[in-house]
Structure 1
Amino acid sequence: MKKLALPLLTSLLLAACATTPQTKPEPPQPAPLAATPVAQAASFADNPIVYFVVTDRFANGNPANDGSYGRRKDGEQEIGTFHGGDLAGLTAKLKEGYFTQLGVNAIWITAPYEQIRGWVVGGKNEFRHYSYHGYYALDYTVLDQNMGTPDELREFVDTAHAQGVRVLFDVVMNHPGYADINTLSEFVPGLLWKGWQQYTLKDYHSWIDYNNFAFGDWWGGKWVRAGLPGYGEGGRDDLTMQLAYLPDFRTDNKEFVGLPKFLKNKPGTRAVELPNTTVRGYLVKWLSDWVRDYGIDGFRCDTAKHVELDAWKDLKTAATAALADWKARNPGKKIDDVPFWMTGEVWGQDVSRNAYFDHGFDSLINFEFQDRVGATSLEAIYSDYASKLGPRRFDVLSYLSSHDTRLFDRSKLQNAGSALMLAPGGVQIYYGDESGRKEGPATAGDPQQATRSDMNWQAMDAELLAHWRKLGDFRRRHPAIARGEHRKLADTPYVFSRSHAGFADRIVAAPQASGEVSLPVAGVFREGETVRDAYSGATAKVSQGQVKLVATGTVLLEAAGQR
């Protein structure tokens, strides 16, 4: 979710480049490996390859749900309206093999639980902004009908698990959605002036009686800070502020609360009164129930810096127990026994360890990678990241494009794809980076909307997609890329190795190499050993510590037969 602008990140101190094999004693030669033991040795947390998709903008598998709750297109640029993507569409693409061909082992989807019914004013009074992105929650206990049905969610999760792909929910504990006119008309109609049905972008707020204490029938002052009659004002610090004027959940409130009045009366909700429970307790219960009911494998936690660390720890504890319970009841549907996994958005986070990792987070989103690629050498990035992330004291998800920042230069996605998919630590693919998806329409008041265009199924860059598929498949089979010891082997073309004794895994890669090349591999592959270039499919034997072959843009070397 878009946050307040921050100063540019300070650059990291670069780790010293590794000495080339020619100037130091050659280490013991490893033995040839088979692929199966490597795959068994590494867990998801060792090598996360996460595909982030804005579900509404990806694939429309069930057009019958497109107009749920009376939502409509605006007939203009459709910047902030629902476009039709849903869970059924994701399932269809799973069945086509789209994600496994990319090497993806987890899909992060936008929050699928029920959102505010209507729209609010987007940008600077520029467009109708619906909650297609999942950040304006109304009811955490039921699916949003635009996303699909419980059966469709179950089929999506089961289909993903059958392919070894985990499902991650985007979750928000910092705020619910705005009090939009359509939602108020259904649950607190006394807040709207007579004739509200004729509201427009220009006069939207004039139809809501913002001085009316009937707002207490909405979330209520014990639940949120909202600056409305009967509510406290948002604070000035990260934990109590109203981010983007959204109501701020009082997750720090120790007082026991009952259900908000609108939820008590809401048809179809699964929310029930919980004895001796706080706002935080309700949210933790609601979110962890998705894990217990469907086997959701992990959460990406939105606006993490705006919620108390102990709240995130509570969520992780509850979700971990819920997933263990689901796996015990569904042994035939689970992928493995890896525990619940959690990553978070801490705006401005780089590759450094902090208190979040002691409060439930296995990973955090890495905001700096997008800026470093192209601005500094790959060796500087890789040696830095490998020294910090290889031992897995903590982890990050690096990305090229984001729904909150910008799309990476579309003309440079080939080399950038290599840079990302060969990076140490976890990686996140933003939907369409692999296919050349173009920017969509946006406004001056909200330029990030351009990053959320429809998936370009009818105009995919086939060559680019093939490139990403080779990289993803190679990465998924080699946890040493994420966790291995990194060594630079040559400068021109740039060649490096990653080796991990614990996984019995080793690779050599040249991210940008074309034509006849002779690549150093001494200390990684032994003399006379046959290696395979997973990118071109060619094989070659190691001779005098070198491998000679014809490179086709990228070289990805592994022991022959390791597939």
Structure 2
Amino acid sequence: MMFRRTVAALAAALAVAGAWAADEPVARPGSFADNPIVYFVVTDRFANGNPANDGSYGRTREPRPQDDIGTFHGGDLAGLTQKLREGWFRELGVNAIWITAPYEQMHGWVVGGSKEFKHYGYHGYFALDYTRLDANMGTPAELREFVATAHAQGIRVVFDVVMNHPGYGDIQSLSEYVTEPETDKKRGMLWKGYEAATLRDYHSWIDYNDPAWLQWWGPDWIRSGLRGYTEGGSDDLTKQLAYLPDFKTESPKAVGLPPFLKKKADTEAVELPDTTVRGYLVNWLSRWVREYGVDGFRADTVKHVEYASWTALKEASAKALADWKAANPKAAVDAAPFWMTGEDWGHDITRTRHYDIGFDNMINFDFQRRADARGAELDKLYAEYARALAAPATHNVLSYISSHDTKLFDRKTLYDGATALMLAPGGVQIYYGDETARPDGPAANGDPQQSTRSDMNWAGIDAALLSHWRKLGQFRARHVAVAKGRHWQIAAQPYTFARVHAEDRIVAAVGAAGRVTLAVGDVFPDGTRVRDAYGGTSATVAAGKVTLDADARGLVLLEALP
């Protein structure tokens, strides 16, 4: 009797498993270049996986939230790995993680905003040494573990990189690598007692005319307003953004290592004979690809660096990744080439020359201002994007609703923002915390962007919103048609549209209520079994239509079943 009950239970289990397998949708994800779903995270603000590295280089936090906006908060590579293992990114359908530049930043702080906060390089834009990991981010072993864990889940790793400028000359780094004691009043460029500098008197401790500044990056490397250096220009290629030193990447002159790096005992930078500033930067950045298998770069301030430098970076990094994949064939996601997206402020979906000089993709600044579109306006937006980006278009973009450089999308309408973004033609970028309703942080007078980089709200996740993002993300990840398909509107009420690609097809409805009948005959032939990936129900197409019960959120995402 026990044997018969066991056999019956096993047969029932197998029947259920077979039915579940049969209900798996037909998935056609397409290539990463065609269908990128990129999660952008300010690593320091995401998850603290290794508290032992907090406070590296003597960095400290501030007790009041409004004073603490520019310090390092503890997020690191180990935290990213932890969340990978928990399935955070996989459940969102993400196929790439873009992290802020993890290489070593200036050790101390400079005055941020209108003398309001201590501004450290937690965001990766104040580089000190391109050849070393910043200790707050973690160790080389932790970086390897992060990349390997991401790759094992089919997720690429993209570094933010900067070739336009290094970081400022902060008091701490200058005292460590540049200045030499001279008198009891002054230590090179710093006056005695500089350790006591405050937001109000920071610059009074630094002699900006002292010749010791020549022992910093040196005039062959950068433009700056310092004595002995070339002044920044007024055009895009030579200006000093936010008073940051400007790399002379266009210079044909061979240079040696910057003077301060010659004194930095732990640098991995070495002298490269007959090498220009561009050559050094390309060498340093592509080393991360060759050593760790980094899959792509997001290039900062593209229009402020001449095209030849971006081409050189792409070529060197493409070779580096090919070499890494040849040496580590089982550790790569696939055989796809190195990928590069870029930030050119204001760039939209237009195919510009950027795509001919190394960029596979560009950040799309147009979508955020239009992401609250509804009905006819949303269809107009989708149709416009699909005309430009659907196959066989040779370029692609990353659209977003929130970013670290602009603003966060209205937290009261994140459901609608998520729907608009995740069903948009082209590629998409999810900004960390949009999926959880992460709130703005404190703002700073003169630097409002700091408020967009608040800590991830792990203790206050909006679970319903997260579920919404996950359903949309997983659906998009299965269907290249969403990203590169031909688009047309099927109905205005509820707003229903189709996307059809040579390999894939979907129908989506926004604003559906209760039991709905959708015309799908031009997409799915009669007899096709379809599933609503949002609500979970399935139906069979008859007379060119399908009838089902829409989820309470009003979203229907139809995909074919085998």
1:200 alignment partner, SS class: coil
Structure-to-structure mapping, 1:391-410, within 5 angstroms: 391=391, 392-410=393-411
Q: Which residue of 2 aligns with 1:414?
A: 415
Q: Which residue of 2 aligns with 1:316?
A: 314
Deviation at 1:158, TM superposition (A): 0.2
Q: Which residue of 2 aligns with 1:481?
A: 482
Deviations 1:43-71 (A, max 9, x none): 11010000000000000000000100000
Aligned equivalents of 2:360 and 2:240: distance in 1? Answer: 27
Q: Which residue of 2 aligns with 1:55?
A: 43
Output the amino acid matched with 2:44: D
Q: Which residue of 2 aligns with 1:390?
A: 390
Q: Which residue of 2 aligns with 1:195?
A: 193
Aligned equivalents of 1:537 and 1:343: distance in 2? Answer: 35
Whether the 8 Å CA contact 1:415–1:511 is kept in 2: the answer is: no
Q: Which residue of 1 aligns with 2:133?
A: 143
Q: Which residue of 1 aligns with 2:425?
A: 424
Aligned equivalents of 2:433 and 2:191: distance in 1? Answer: 44
Instruction: Kindly indicate whether residue 92 of structure 2 is the aligned counterpart of residue 91 of structure 1.
Output: no
Aligned equivalents of 2:470 and 2:87: distance in 1? Answer: 11
Determine which of 365, 368, 375 is the counterpart of 1:367. Answer: 365
Determine which of 177, 181, 190 is the counterpart of 2:171. Answer: 181
Output the amino acid matched with 2:38: V
Q: Which residue of 2 aligns with 1:270?
A: 268
Between 85-94 and 544-553, report the one with greater CA deviation: 544-553
Q: Which residue of 1 aligns with 2:5?
A: none
Deviations 1:282-341 (A, max 9, x none): 000000000000000000000011000111000000000000000000011001100000
Whether the 8 Å CA contact 1:33–1:559 is kept in 2: the answer is: no
Deviation at 1:416, TM superposition (A): 1.0
Aligned equivalents of 1:234 and 1:532: distance in 2? Answer: 59
Q: Which has the higher contact order (CA 8 A, sep 6+)?
A: 1
User: In the comparison of the two structures, how many residue pairs are matched?
Assistant: 526
1:356 alignment partner, SS class: helix
Determine which of 324, 337, 343 is the counterpart of 1:326. Answer: 324
Aligned equivalents of 2:536 and 2:480: distance in 1? Answer: 20
Aligned equivalents of 1:35 and 1:532: distance in 2? Answer: 7
Structure-to-structure mapping, 1:125-274, within 5 angstroms: 125-189=115-179, 190-274=188-272
Aligned equivalents of 1:531 and 1:49: distance in 2? Answer: 24
Shift of the 62–101 alpha-carbon distance from structure 1 to 2, 3 Å rule, reads: same
Deviations 1:412-445 (A, max 9, x none): 1101101100100000000010110000011121
Q: Which residue of 2 aligns with 1:513?
A: 512
Q: Which residue of 2 aligns with 1:499?
A: 500
Root-mean-square deviation (Å): 1.3
Between 492-501 and 510-519, report the one with greater CA deviation: 510-519
Between 447-456 and 535-544, report the one with greater CA deviation: 535-544
Aligned equivalents of 1:37 and 1:496: distance in 2? Answer: 19
Output the amino acid matched with 1:497: A
Between 149-158 and 67-76, report the one with greater CA deviation: 67-76
Structure 2 unmatched ranges of 5 or more:
1-21, 180-187
Aligned equivalents of 1:442 and 1:469: distance in 2? Answer: 30
Deviations 1:116-149 (A, max 9, x none): 0000000000000011000000000010000000
Whether the 8 Å CA contact 1:516–1:551 is kept in 2: the answer is: yes
Aligned equivalents of 1:107 and 1:400: distance in 2? Answer: 17
Aligned equivalents of 2:234 and 2:538: distance in 1? Answer: 61
Deviation at 1:33, TM superposition (A): 12
Deviation at 1:522, TM superposition (A): 1.1
Aligned equivalents of 2:24 and 2:444: distance in 1? Answer: 53
2:460 alignment partner, SS class: coil
Whether the 8 Å CA contact 1:239–1:308 is kept in 2: the answer is: yes
Deviation at 1:547, TM superposition (A): 1.1
Deviation at 1:399, TM superposition (A): 0.1
The structure with the larger Rg is: 2
Instruction: Kindly indicate whether residue 558 of structure 2 is the aligned counterpart of residue 560 of structure 1.
Output: no
Q: Output the TM-score relative to the length of structure 1.
A: 0.92
Q: Which residue of 1 aligns with 2:285?
A: 287
Whether the 8 Å CA contact 2:532–2:559 is kept in 1: the answer is: yes
2:278 alignment partner, SS class: helix
Q: Which residue of 2 aligns with 1:111?
A: 101
Aligned equivalents of 1:171 and 1:298: distance in 2? Answer: 10
Aligned equivalents of 2:78 and 2:513: distance in 1? Answer: 41
Aligned equivalents of 1:54 and 1:113: distance in 2? Answer: 13
Determine which of 295, 298, 303 is the counterpart of 1:297. Answer: 295
1:98 alignment partner, SS class: coil
Deviations 1:137-185 (A, max 9, x none): 0000010000000000000000000000000000000000000001111
Deviation at 1:473, TM superposition (A): 0.3
Output the amino acid matched with 2:41: V
Q: Output the TM-score relative to the length of structure 2.
A: 0.92
Structure 1 unmatched ranges of 5 or more:
1-31
Output the amino acid matched with 1:524: V
Whether the 8 Å CA contact 2:43–2:99 is kept in 1: the answer is: yes
Output the amino acid matched with 1:387: R
Whether the 8 Å CA contact 1:114–1:145 is kept in 2: the answer is: yes
Deviations 1:261-294 (A, max 9, x none): 1101102110000010000000000000000000
